[in-house]
Structure 1
C-alpha cells in the first residue's frame, strides 16, 4: 500500500489556464484592462497537468498546490527577474498582453501571482518540517509534442539538477513500464537561472524532489489524465520506501 507516502507527497502544478482578465476579477493587479491581451493562448492543454496533480492528491492523500494563472501572465517556475518570466513570444505565437509590460506591471504580477504561490508552498513546507513529516516534492508540468517544428520523442521527462534521488528512482520505474520513451533532463533540464520551484523548495531544503514533464497530448482528456494518475500512483507506491526513511 502507499504507506508513508500517503502523507509524504507535495504536488505542485504551475501551469494554470486563467489569463489576466480572470486574474483581475480575483486580484487587484492595478493593470490597465486590455481587451483579450493574451488571445489565442498558446498552451490550451496545460490544465492536463493540474488534473493529474489533483488525481494524485486524491489517490495518495497528497498535498496539492495549484497555480491557477497561466504562465503567459507570469511564469511561476522562473526567477521573477528572468527574461522568460513574462514572455512576449510563446513558440510562434505573439502574446499581445506582454508586448509592452512596464516595470510596474511586471512587479504587480510578481506581487499578486508569483509571490503568494511561493509563500503558500514555503508555509506548507515549514509546517511539515516542524511536524517532522517526511516530504517528497513533485512539480508537474506538461510539454508540447512538437516544438518549433521538431517532434519530441519522449512521452515523459524527469528533470533535476543537484539532487537526482527521486528523479533517478522514478526514471527507472517509468522505463521498466516498457511502453515509454523517458527523457533524462529532457525536454528540459533544471537550473538556477531557468527554474524556481526545485532550487528554492527542493534543493535549498534538502527534500527529495523531481520536476515531471508529461507530453500534453497524453493528458489532454479525462481518460489520459486518469491513466497517468493511476500509473504514477502505482509507480510512486513502488519507490517510496527507498526515498522516505
Structure 2
C-alpha cells in the first residue's frame, strides 16, 4: 500500500531532484519530464498556459513518482525543468534535446544558439548525476515513468486507446514480466505503444541497456493520471508490480 501522510526526503539541484532514499538492490523510478519549471532567466516565448500542457510536462508522473518514493526501497530521480527547456530523453546531439517545435507549437526562445548552453547547464548535469547514482547505489530494477496525451494536436486523426504502454528496446527481461501483470489489472496495455522504445529510449539506452541494468518503461495516458486519486491508484499499482518484477527477474 502506498504510504500517506509522509513526504519523501528530497535532494534538489537545478537540473534534477531525488525523492526518497536510493538503496542498493532497491527500485529507482526515473521521470525525465516530471517538471514544467522554467528558470527565471529563460524566456521560451510561448503562452504561459502551455506550460500546463503535455508539450511542457508529462502530466501526473511527478506526483506518482513522489508517492512511490514514500515506500522503503524505492526512490525517484526526476527532471527538474520543463522538457521545453531541455529534453533529457533525447540524444545529446539531437536538436530535439532543446526543441524549437513541439507538437506543432513553435518555441522561439529555443532559437539563436542556446543549444550548447542548455546542454551544459541542464542535460549533462542530469545524466552525470543519474550515472553516479546508479553506480553508487545500483538498483535491482529501474522504472522509466512517462505519460502520453490521448491525442496529438499535430495529428488530430491519431487514436491512442491504451491506458498505458510498456516500452523497451533490446532488453525485454522486465517488460515480459510487467506486461501480463498490468494486463491482469484490467488495463488496455500497449506493447511499445504509443511509440516504440526501440526508437525513442535515450535515457534507458544510456543508463540501463548499455550497462545491462534491468528496466521497463511505463507510459500512462494522461487522462488516467490527472487527479490525486488517480495518481495514488497508479502509485500503489506500480509499487506492487515493480516489486513483483524485481523478484521475478532476480530469481
Q: Which residue of 2 aligns with 1:187?
A: 194
In the superposition, the TM-score normalised over structure 2's length comes to 0.81
Residue ranges of structure 1 left out of the alignment (5+ in a row): 25-32
Alpha-carbon distance between aligned partners in 2 of 1:73 and 1:196, rounded to the nearest angstrom: 17
Offset of residue 70 of structure 1: 0.9
Q: Which residue of 1 aligns with 2:127?
A: 118
Paired residue secondary structure (1:17): coil
Offset of residue 119 of structure 1: 0.9
Determine whether 1:233 maps to 2:249. Answer: no
Offset of residue 21 of structure 1: 3.6
From 209, 221, 225, the equivalent of 2:227 is: 221
Alignment of 1:63-212 (within 5 A): 63-98=75-110, 100-102=111-113, 105-129=114-138, 134-147=139-152, 148-149=155-156, 150-178=158-186, 180-191=187-198, 194-212=200-218
Paired residue secondary structure (1:142): strand
Q: Which residue of 2 aligns with 1:29?
A: none
Cα deviations across residues 5-54 of structure 1 (Å, max 9, x unaligned)?
995211111113334344x3xxxxxxxx54x5243234266241111111
Runs (4+) of structure 1 exceeding 6 A deviation are none
Alpha-carbon distance between aligned partners in 2 of 1:118 and 1:93, rounded to the nearest angstrom: 27
- Greater length-normalized contact order (CA 8 Å, ≥ 6 residues apart): 1
Of 42-51 and 63-72, deviating more is 42-51
Q: Which residue of 2 aligns with 1:27?
A: none
Residue ranges of structure 2 left out of the alignment (5+ in a row): 2-22
Offset of residue 209 of structure 1: 0.5
Alpha-carbon distance between aligned partners in 2 of 1:45 and 1:221, rounded to the nearest angstrom: 15
Alpha-carbon distance between aligned partners in 1 of 2:83 and 2:218, rounded to the nearest angstrom: 17
Cα deviations across residues 94-126 of structure 1 (Å, max 9, x unaligned)?
22322x231xx2111111111111111111111
Specify which structure has the higher proportion of helix.
Answer: 1
Partners of 2:164 and 2:220 within 8 A in 1: yes
Offset of residue 241 of structure 1: 1.6
